[in-house]
């Protein structure tokens, strides 16, 4: 029985159809699996490897290279506080210290209730609103310690459920436009390309 849900598998197949080489869909499919479980479970990694034609070790090798992919469990909300230069100059380390005290964990840690994982992040590209942070890749700027406490309360009580989905969901692997293609059309294009390459002497 598949670990990845039917919905995830269907979207994964759509993503696979977009690329000439299945392995090119590896990262977006990892994000899909992460959306399902919150992190890349070993059983998900095994299925992803099969889908894209790699070994599980190769999938892990790629996943561990990217900060946004997690091969260890993370909380329902991943709080990434930027401590890069613009945010640092506007109190990011004070904010991080406050967050550590409020959540009772150090960067990299997860609260006992599994709700929050705290992370010390590099620039998240929202420098104009420093100090800033992301929660599951949603941006929050000009964050004071008081605003942080309010944010944590709002997340814990579900008041931000419409804005911040659980786990590290990325909109772009789910969006309804831009990344979709007809798998039949793609496979015909691939067959035509293979035939052209064969006629040209192997396509080397
Ligand atoms: S330095 Fe914090 S978002 Fe760029």
Query: In sequence order, which residues have a C-beta less than 8 Å from that of residue 23 and are 6 or more positions away?
Result: 52, 53, 54
Evaluate whether 120 touches 107 at the Cβ level (below 8 Å).
Answer: yes
Q: What structural domains and CATH numbers belong to the chain?
A: 6-71+170-181 (1.10.10.1590), 77-156 (3.40.30.10)
Spacing, Cα 138 to ligand 1 middle (Å) = 14
Q: What is the 3-state secondary structure (H, E, C) of 106-165?
A: CCCCECCCCCEEEEEECCCCCHHHCCCEEECCEEECCCCHHHHHHHHHHHHCCCCCCCCC
Q: Does position 108 have pLDDT exceeding 80, yes or no?
A: yes
Mutate to test the pocket of ligand 1, among 81, 123, 142, 143 (most ligand atoms within 8 A of CB): 123
Stated pTM of the model: 0.79
Other beta carbons within 10 angstroms of residue 136's beta carbon come to 23
Name the pairing type of β-strands 116-121 and 77-82: parallel
At 182, is the pLDDT very low, low, confident or very high (cuts 50, 70, 90)? low
Query: Quick one: pLDDT at residue 177?
Result: 47
Q: Which residues line ligand 1 (CB under 6 A)?
A: 82, 84-87, 123-127, 130, 132
Mutate to test the pocket of ligand 1, among 94, 129, 132, 134 (most ligand atoms within 8 A of CB): 132
At 143, is the pLDDT very low, low, confident or very high (cuts 50, 70, 90)? very high
Q: What is the mean pLDDT of residues 185-195?
A: 74
């Amino acid at each position: 029985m598949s670990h990845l849900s039917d919905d995830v598998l269907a979207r994964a197949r759509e993503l696979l159809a977009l690329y000439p080489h299945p392995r090119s869909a590896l990262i977006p499919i990892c994000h899909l699996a992460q959306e399902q479980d919150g992190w890349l479970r070993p059983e998900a990694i095994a299925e992803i490897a099969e889908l894209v034609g790699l070994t599980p070790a190769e999938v892990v090798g790629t996943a561990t290279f990217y900060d946004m992919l997690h091969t260890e469990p993370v909380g329902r909300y991943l709080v990434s506080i930027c401590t890069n230069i613009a945010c640092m100059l506007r109190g990011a380390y004070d904010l991080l210290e406050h967050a550590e005290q409020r959540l009772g964990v150090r960067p990299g840690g997860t609260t006992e209730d599994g709700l929050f994982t705290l992370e010390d992040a590099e620039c998240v590209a929202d420098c104009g609103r420093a100090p800033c942070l992301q929660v599951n890749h949603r941006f929050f700027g000009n964050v004071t310690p008081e605003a942080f406490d309010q944010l944590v309360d709002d997340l814990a009580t579900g008041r931000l459920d419409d804005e911040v989905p659980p786990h590290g969901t990325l909109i772009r692997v789910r969006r309804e436009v831009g990344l979709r293609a007809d798998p039949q059309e793609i496979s015909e294009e691939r067959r035509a390309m293979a035939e052209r390459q064969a006629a040209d002497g192997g396509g080397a």
